[in-house]
Structure 1
Amino acid sequence: MSTTSTPIPEERLRDADRSQNTILLAARDEFSEHGLGGARVDRIAARAGLNKRLIYYYFSDKDTLFQAVLEQVYLHIREEERKLNLLGLPPATALRRLVEFTWNYYLDHPEFLTLLNSANLHKARHLAESQRAREMNSPLIATLGEILERGRADGSFRGGIDPLQLYVSIAGLSYFYLSNSHTLSAIFGRDLMTPKAHSERLSHMSEVILGYVLMN
């Protein structure tokens, strides 16, 4: 008797992919608005227009779904970064482009910041358990390391810069400003979210980062 399994029809696979993507988008919005603790699977099902049982079929529980959402948003930002073709640019231009991209991505995707806030509230245990997340993020640091080495070799960058520390600084300069824009605006009496303020912030961040790496 043959033990060969029957292949799953391609249309069923496409339907499954569509359903999972719909669930992930709905869950992303729910988690970004309410956090992991406040999110409800009932509301995710309603947002997705799907049966709640289907969510549990694909993702088993809310924590697994949250991990999948985090993986998905990291996948998106890393894919968009790859489109920058940073290794095809002069080192200083590549670094400025990365700063600009990070700032504009965070502005355009506020849900990314709120999801990271929620993940940190839970000590990033969902990311710590995700081999996929680590594999997606490591190439960025390798790319940044190569940019720094090219700059050092051509004499435009100083040596001894840790690419991980540099990326944390790039991300942190944008992340802190945007995550704390309400409190910063309130305590300093200055609206930090106007177009003019955004432009000033980006210029400042670019000069700070390039001022750190460029040879004097």
Structure 2
Amino acid sequence: MPGSEPATRPPRRRNAKLTRSAILQAALEEFSEMGHSGARVDRIAERAGVSKPMIYDYFGDKDGIYAAALREAYVQIREGEAELDLDMRQPEEAVRALVHFTMEHFRIKPWFIRMLNTENLRGGATVREMHDAAEIQSVLVDQLREILKQGIAQGIFRKGVDPVEFYIYIASLCYFPISNLHTLRAVFQAPIDEEWLKRHADGSADMVLAFLKDRSHASDSPENRN
């Protein structure tokens, strides 16, 4: 109507969850590319599309952002593992699925390995102060413990395998070709690409399953009777 005041739009409210997620992803990329000392909060803000003061409001300071990003790296891989529904798979299938997922996660989310490299260069100071670090890992450890238990019950896995040590074997086999991608290509001319990594994951799964195999009846096999 003529003479009436123009309608004013209410200010757009920022989705706090999405904003926090965007900051964490930007921080993962910045810290993984530049390391802890080389990372800059202003670049994280630019990557996330937010103001620098907003980042400080969310996380306090640079160390706070780094700690949150490191935690997020662990959360992301555990969330991806949860989607595998390992509990619904047969033991051998579950192990193969976990190996292939681990390799693929390291490949498509390189900031995970780089963040871990950065934290190890810093002596693990931040992860030791992470109050829920063990809790984040516990879900996978419990799943692996159950998978190993089922394999033993079915007579296909041997007893005495610690689930944490077993996961370290899996992570090691998947970690090395990604973390050393460029040097392996240069020194050994290894044709490391997506197809090569898939074959490596297949072989790694074969190796860890052979490690788990129950050999208590090996002496009864025909080749051992001669």
TM-score, normalised to structure 2, is: 0.85
Indicate yes or no: 2:224 matched with 1:214. no
**Equivalent residue number for residue 152 of structure 1:** 152
Written as runs of structure 1 = structure 2, the 5 A alignment for 1:103-114 is: 103-114=103-114
Partner of 1:25: 25
Cα distance in 1, alignment partners of residues 18 and 161 from structure 2: 43
User: Within 5 A, what are the aligned runs for 1:74-85?
Assistant: 74-85=74-85
Q: Percent identity?
A: 41
- Give the structure 1 partner of residue 124 of structure 2: 124
Indicate the larger mover: 15-24 or 54-63: 15-24
Q: What's the offset of the Cα at 1:44?
A: 1.0
- Find the aligned partners of 1:81 and 1:195 in 2 and give their Cα distance: 20
Unmatched 5+ residue regions in structure 1? 1-10
- Tell me if the contact between 2:145 and 2:163 (Cα under 8 Å) persists in the aligned partners: yes
Within 5 Å, give how 1:14-163 maps onto structure 2: 15-163=15-163
Report the alpha carbon displacement of residue 133 of structure 1 after superposing the two structures with TM.
Answer: 2.5
* Alignment partner of 1:199 is 2:198: yes
One-letter amino acid of the structure 2 residue matched with residue 206 of structure 1: A
| Contact kept in structure 1, 2:141 and 2:163, CA below 8 Å | yes
How far 1:164 sits from its partner (Å)? 0.6
Contact 2:100 2:198 in 1 (8 A): no
Q: Report the alpha carbon displacement of residue 13 of structure 1 after superposing the two structures with TM.
A: 8.6
Alpha-carbon offset, residue 14 of structure 1: 6.1
Partner of 1:131: helix, strand, or coil?
A: coil
Range with greater deviation from structure 2 (98-107 or 47-56) = 47-56
| 1:182 alignment partner in structure 2 | 182
Cα deviation digits, residues 41-70 of structure 1 (max 9, x gap): 111112222221111111111111111011
1:163 Cα deviation from its structure 2 partner: 0.7
Structure 2: 5+ residue stretches without partners: 1-10, 216-226
> Which structure's CA Rg is the greater one?
2
Equivalent pairs counted in the alignment come to 205
Q: Equivalents in 2 of 1:194, 1:28: separation in Å?
A: 24
